[in-house]
Structure 1
Amino acid sequence: MDHEMTPRPDRLALREWHVDDAAAALSVYSHPEVVRWLIPDMDRVPGVAAMRLLLQQWIAESTRITANGGRWAVYRVADGRVVGGAVLLPLPPGDEDWEIGWQLHPGVWGQGHEEDCAFTLASLAFERGHSEVFAVVRPGNTSSAAVRRNGMHWVGETSKYFGIDLQVFRLRKADFDRTAPEGHQPPTYADI
């Protein structure tokens, strides 16, 4: 079922991925400005058939992950259009740290949706029992500023995750209530 992220009329929501989302997902994951920042490295998805296979893998992965995480489609409530993806996944090695991440189509960048995704994923993580979450960002990814605007704190740089140099941000549950965007009502998560 749908998971609303924000009370604005142009709001986005999360839902499970479906194989039928392949064409819409391709518009996001074939875009060079999106895939260049993905961790771990991911090539541009070359076509609908390849995107369908990738979605099948993501759906299967989400079913194997405990109730503590998953992968979701991000869609616009007004018209149902898929405009991105969101994750709450364990980070290697050891799967002890949990990452929040989102990838949005460049056509919706700069409209506050990045902050909504970060807030919603953190809310979800804390409701599911996590005490802290991390965002890992490639150096030079200036659009990652959304993690800072949501109260995430700079931890430093490391190659611990995925074997590449990454900037690491952390948000602890104890610090989270102060980070809520103006007018944001924390959603419930029973249906995702």
Structure 2
Amino acid sequence: MTATTVLTTERLTLRPWRLEDAPAALEVYGHTEVTRWLSPEMDRVPDKAAMRLLLQQWAAESGRLSAPAGRWAVQRDSDGLVIGGAVLLPLPPGEEDLEIGWQLRPDTWGHGYATETTHALAAHAFSQDVHEVFAVVRPGNTRAAATVRNNGMHWVGETTKYYGIELQVFRLRRADLDSAAPASPRPQDRD
């Protein structure tokens, strides 16, 4: 088990999920506008009790993952509000590829938080000797495709390899990380 890494950017803190985050997490994962784009393994969360259970599962999962993989709450520094979640997770079926992803409250879309989050996660992964990360995007999710391109990711094709559904695959290598994107995160180990 590894210590959870906290990442900070100019406007955000990516930190471990806490059980008390359930109401804020439900504002993300309780919206069909968010969950319709997620993997088939993730349905819309119906209520706070189900969200608490899912947060417990994510905490247990994070404890078993090897760095830099994990799940983070995305907290806006200006008001302390948890506005979303972010992941670096091994992709099925072979878990040889590392997926980068984010999910944000719909009322925070369009402010660059997804781009900032993606850049922070990629910089963190690359600081841990990861050579490439992948984003898998459902066809039609133009917001996600634009975000990954804003971070220098390149479209590599479509596949059903990962979740058994047609997905667009984007790849980011260390050399491709857009230098115009937000500054690199400052990792801090949680006590």
TM superposition score category, shorter chain reference: over 0.9
Distance, in Å, in 2 between the alignment partners of 1:185 and 1:165 is 33
- 8 Å contact 1:3–1:191 — kept in the other structure? no
TM-superposed deviation, 1:4: 1.3
Q: How does the TM-score come out when normalised to structure 1? A: 0.92
**2:180 is aligned with 1:181:** yes
1:3 matched to 2:15: no
Deviating 4+ runs (over 4 angstroms): none
2:121 and 2:184 mapped to 1: Cα distance?
A: 11
> After the TM superposition, which residues 65-104 of structure 1 pair with which residues of structure 2 at under 5 Å, given as runs?
65-104=65-104
The amino acid of 1:14's aligned partner reads: L
Return the offset for 1:122.
Answer: 0.5
C-alpha contact 1:97 1:134 (8 A) present in aligned 2: yes
SS in 2 for 1:136: strand
Retained in 2: the 8 A contact 1:68–1:129? no
Q: Give the TM-score normalised by structure 2.
A: 0.92
Shift of 1:119: 0.5
- Residue 139 (structure 1) aligns with: 139
Partner of residue 105, structure 2: 105
Question: What is the alpha-carbon distance in structure 2 between the residues aligned to residue 52 and residue 166 of structure 1?
Answer: 29
**1:190 CA displacement:** 3.3
Q: Where does the alignment leave 5 or more consecutive residues of structure 1 unmatched? A: none
Task: Give, as a single letter, the amino acid of the residue that structure 1 aligns with 2:49.
Answer: A
Tell me how far apart the structure 1 counterparts of residues 188 and 126 of structure 2 sit (CA, whole Å). 13
Superposed, 1:6-21 pairs within 5 Å as 7=10, 11-21=11-21
TM-aligned CA deviation for residue 174 of structure 1: 2.3
Q: CA RMSD in A?
A: 1.3
Q: How many residues align?
A: 185
Name the amino acid aligned to 2:8.
E
CA distance in 2, matches of 1:97, 1:162: 13
Instruction: Give, as a single letter, the amino acid of the residue that structure 1 aligns with 2:100.
Output: I
Deviation at 1:42, TM superposition (A): 2.1
Percentage of identical aligned residues:
61
Q: CA deviation at 1:2?
A: 4.3
- 1:20-68 per-residue CA deviation (whole Å, 9 max, x = no partner) reads 1001100110011001001134221111000000000001100000122
Structure 1 residues 26-175: aligned runs within 5 Å: 26-144=26-144, 145-175=146-176
